[in-house]
Amino acid sequence: MMEALQKFATHYNYFVTIFLMVAGLYIVIARGNMIKKLVGLSLFQTSVYLLYLSPGKIVGGTAPIYDGAYQVYANPLPHVLMLTAIVVGVATIALGLALAVRINEAYGTVEEDEIFSKDGEI
């Protein structure tokens, strides 16, 4: 029991990641509103940032500045990667929202079941 708790405490960042991941995925699957789906998707992507960034943190580490005063550096690579991932994520959400706007123009709604009922199951 103690061991499990200890594991939880030392790895809590993973549990937050997993919670965000699952919550985001759940929203994508369970919600019929296209905007809400995108919110879920965004949450899902955010969990990835956490997955990459949190292990990159070293207690007492600084930014990788080459200077004699500092001994411990944090790995900068995950940050760089996530910068890219954030850009990708923003682009995805932007495109998704743009599509939702166009869908709203074409169908007058962004509720999936209403759209399906207007076009028949597609």
Question: From CA 56, how far away is CA 59, in angstroms rounded?
Answer: 10
Tokens 């944090």 label which residue? 74
Nearest approach in angstroms of CB 85 to other proteins is 7
Alpha-carbon distance of 78 to 90, in angstroms, equals: 18
State residue 89 phi and psi, 5-degree precision.
Answer: -60, -45
Report in angstroms how near the CB of residue 68 gets to other proteins at its nearest. 23
Shortest Å distance, C-beta 77 to other proteins: 8
Nearer CB in complex with other proteins: 68/116: 116
Closest CB to other proteins among 7 and 102? 102
**Taking the CB of residue 81, how many other CB atoms lie within 10 A of it?**
15
> Tokens representing 110?
């962004």
Strand partners, 62: 73
Footprint of other proteins on this chain (CB under 8 A)? 21, 25, 28, 34, 37, 41, 44-45, 48, 51-52, 55, 78, 81, 84-85, 88, 91-92, 95-96, 99-100, 102-103, 106-107, 115, 119, 122
Instruction: Return the number of the residue (74 or 103) whose C-beta is nearest other proteins.
Output: 103
